[in-house]
């Protein structure tokens, strides 16, 4: 879901990682579901995607 939203906004994985303050490989782990983000990371991802964290969580099914 994060990957789809990132790609819809035309962001490369590297650019997205820079916006979130994380390394590109960590973003890849998140996109593949190999890591679960903490609440701070959820907030950073939401901001990078220009969403509210609650909307991001809702999109993810929470």
Q: What is the DSSP string of 20-36?
A: HTS-HHHHHHHHTTSS-
* Amino acid 62: pLDDT: 87
CB 6 within 8 A of CB 16: yes
Taking the domains of the chain in order of start, what are their residue ranges? 2-59
Class level of CATH domain 2-59: mainly alpha
List, for the chain, all residue ranges whose pLDDT scores fall below the cut of 70.
none
């Amino acid at each position: 879901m994060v990957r789809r939203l990132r790609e819809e906004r035309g962001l490369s994985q590297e650019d997205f990682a820079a916006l979130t303050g994380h390394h590109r490989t960590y973003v890849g782990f998140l996109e593949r579901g190999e890591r679960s983000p903490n609440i701070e990371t959820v907030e950073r991802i939401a901001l990078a995607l220009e969403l509210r964290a609650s909307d991001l969580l809702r999109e993810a099914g929470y």
